[in-house]
Amino acid sequence: MSTNQKTRDLWALDWRNRGAAMGEPWYTQQQPTAIDAPYPVAFNDDVAALLDIDADRARREGYAEVLSGNRVPEGAAPVSHRYGGHQFGIWAGQLGDGRAITLGDVVNARGQVYDIQLKGAGKTPYSRFADGRAVLRSTVREYLGSEALAALGIPTTRALAIVGSQAPVYRETVETSAILTRVAPSLVRFGSFEMLFYNRQFDELAPLADHVIATHHPRIAAIENTHERYRAWVEHVIAVTAELVADWQAVGFCHGVLNTDNMSVLGLTLDYGPFGFMDSFDPQWICNHTDEGGRYTYQQQPAVGLWNLGRFVQAILPLLADEPDAAVEIGQALLERYRGQFDEAYQARMRAKLGLLETVEGDAELSERLLKRMAADGADFTRTFRALGHVSADPQATGAPFVDEFVDRDGAHEWLADWRARLGNTSEDDAARAERMRLTNPKYVLRNYLAQHAIERAQDGDYSEIERLHAILRHPFDEQPEHADYARLPPDWARGLVLSCSS
């Protein structure tokens, strides 16, 4: 944060409360439920800077009362958002913010709008039979996971703070409560529009779409023709979704629960349930043991992105044209762009990971053959690409450390020879290429075992590992030799670790 930029007190933000102003049927006013003896667990200076919050003062004066929901800031008008969703391909009906309460939205000094939401702040009208609380375990994972993706340059919601409480929460076992402060330009989802469509509240689609467009897409908002404006917006939603999924694939990230209620209309990574970064590369990896059919494997994510977009476009068809048949035709034409957009984005990222400057026929096949060798040997996704950046283009040079990641070393050398031949078409030297590859192939990602270690320490009352791990993940592309152990292969107990949806 610039030294001459005005910082604000956490208790005195300029609340705009656009959700509360919209009201029903999109938002319901809802006060947080007080929780016993909240205490600070983690606070994120980076996100505080986004909001122009004085982080030092927030720590000094204590943020737990406000960011637990026990003390609602003056001027805030808390709401919960109503939405539905397709869960594992089946329409689940009304869902909504069952344990999340948005205090309101604020505008920072740069004119950027952010919703500030407390996840785990108590029951809402959409809690159904749940308790409205979150557990420390899942809260730590989302805090670290969202900040890890942000540091990788991948669009995501952010995490400002974790507040803990000894209040019990009953899941598979008795756990302690925690509240995550989630920050995002918008938390509107595909399912926000699906809810209105399936309830046949067609007249309520446009106000929500107009709200998103006016707040976040001023150029689209300037389009005078109403149908053309909505078509441009849908085109944008499709494009940013394709880019987001390509981002995930390029770092070996699996979302785990790609239901339509977990898909952001801004192309943000949203709702960190049983997510994971792959260790050994396996295109069929399932990071969520609830996903018994493998709907949301790594390999399936691009296709699921299109399927979810199909449900979104179906929901907003009344906005695309006056005649239903014309609206369907327009919607289908817009959806047909997704595959090409995803392929282009994905291949661009893979070329960057391989250190290739320009596009040459056969590049896609070269990267695909590498992934197949990695899958056959169970080579580590992150370490393999990182190691490739240290390999010289000289055919006489050793292939270490890249080859060391493979069981079939001869096969790895064979692929390496083809890669070197491809590099022979460029005049760039090893040092320049290595630096480019370093900036696209991270050394540090949030491996499950690292998150688990931080969680176990936190459950014992020691939050230092959250802070340490967050500090490392803030600079994922740097060598950080003092933290080299955080880039090692997972221990035997952590291999194949999968998670559940309970949180």
- The answer to whether 69 is a known ligand-binding residue is no
Catalytic residue check, 282? no
Residue pair 42/136 in contact by the 8 Å Cβ criterion: no
Q: Please name the amino acid found at residue 58.
A: A
Q: How does pLDDT run across 446-469, given as a tens digit for each residue?
A: 999 999 999 999 999 999 999 999
- The answer to whether 96 is a known ligand-binding residue is yes
Residue pair 65/118 in contact by the 8 Å Cβ criterion: no
pLDDT given at position 53: 94
Residue pair 176/165 in contact by the 8 Å Cβ criterion: yes
Please tell me which residue in 97, 105, 261, 291 is annotated as part of the active site: 261
pLDDT given at position 428: 81
Q: How does pLDDT run across 270-280, given as a tens digit for each residue?
A: 999 899 999 99
User: Which residue, among 187, 194, 188, has the nearest Cα to 84 in the 3D structure?
Assistant: 194
> In this structure, are strands 158-170 and 39-43 parallel, antiparallel, or unpaired?
antiparallel
Tell me which of 134-138, 414-418, 492-496 is least confident. Answer: 492-496
pLDDT given at position 407: 96
- The answer to whether 262 is a known ligand-binding residue is yes
Residue pair 96/30 in contact by the 8 Å Cβ criterion: no
Answer yes or no: is pLDDT of 339 > 50.
yes
- The answer to whether 229 is a known ligand-binding residue is no
- The answer to whether 131 is a known ligand-binding residue is yes
Unique residue bearing structure tokens 């003056």: 74
SS3 category, 107: strand
Tell me which of 165-169, 181-185, 384-388, 491-495 is least confident. Answer: 491-495
Q: How confident is the model at residue 3 (pLDDT cuts 50, 70, 90)?
A: very low
- The answer to whether 9 is a known ligand-binding residue is no
pLDDT given at position 6: 60
pLDDT given at position 1: 45
pLDDT given at position 4: 46
pLDDT given at position 7: 66
Mean pLDDT on 254-269? 97
- The answer to whether 271 is a known ligand-binding residue is yes
Mean pLDDT on 7-25? 87
Geometric angle at alpha carbon 265, from 263 and 266, rounded to 5°: 110
Report CA-CA distances (Å) from 244 to 101, 134, 299, 353: 26, 26, 15, 17
Q: How does pLDDT run across 97-131, given as a tens digit for each residue?
A: 999 999 999 999 899 999 999 999 999 999 988 99
Domain ranges of the chain: 18-186, 356-438
SS3 category, 337: helix
Answer yes or no: is pLDDT of 11 > 90.
no
Answer yes or no: is pLDDT of 85 > 80.
yes
Q: How confident is the model at residue 500 (pLDDT cuts 50, 70, 90)?
A: low
- The answer to whether 119 is a known ligand-binding residue is yes
Answer yes or no: is pLDDT of 413 > 60.
yes
Mean pLDDT on 21-49? 97
- Alpha helix stretches (DSSP H) within 322-408: 324-335, 337-353, 363-377, 381-388
Answer yes or no: is pLDDT of 356 > 80.
yes
- The answer to whether 189 is a known ligand-binding residue is yes
Estimate to the nearest angstrom the gap between the alpha carbon of 239 and the chain centroid: 16
Q: What percent of the chain has pLDDT over 90?
A: 90
Report CA-CA distances (Å) from 373 to 280, 291, 331: 11, 26, 39
Q: How does pLDDT run across 162-200, given as a tens digit for each residue?
A: 999 999 999 889 999 999 999 999 999 999 999 999 999
Answer yes or no: is pLDDT of 13 > 70.
yes
Answer yes or no: is pLDDT of 8 > 80.
no
- The answer to whether 6 is a known ligand-binding residue is no
Answer yes or no: is pLDDT of 502 > 90.
no
SS3 category, 180: strand
Q: Which two tokens stand for residue 31?
A: 């006060």
Mean pLDDT on 130-135? 95
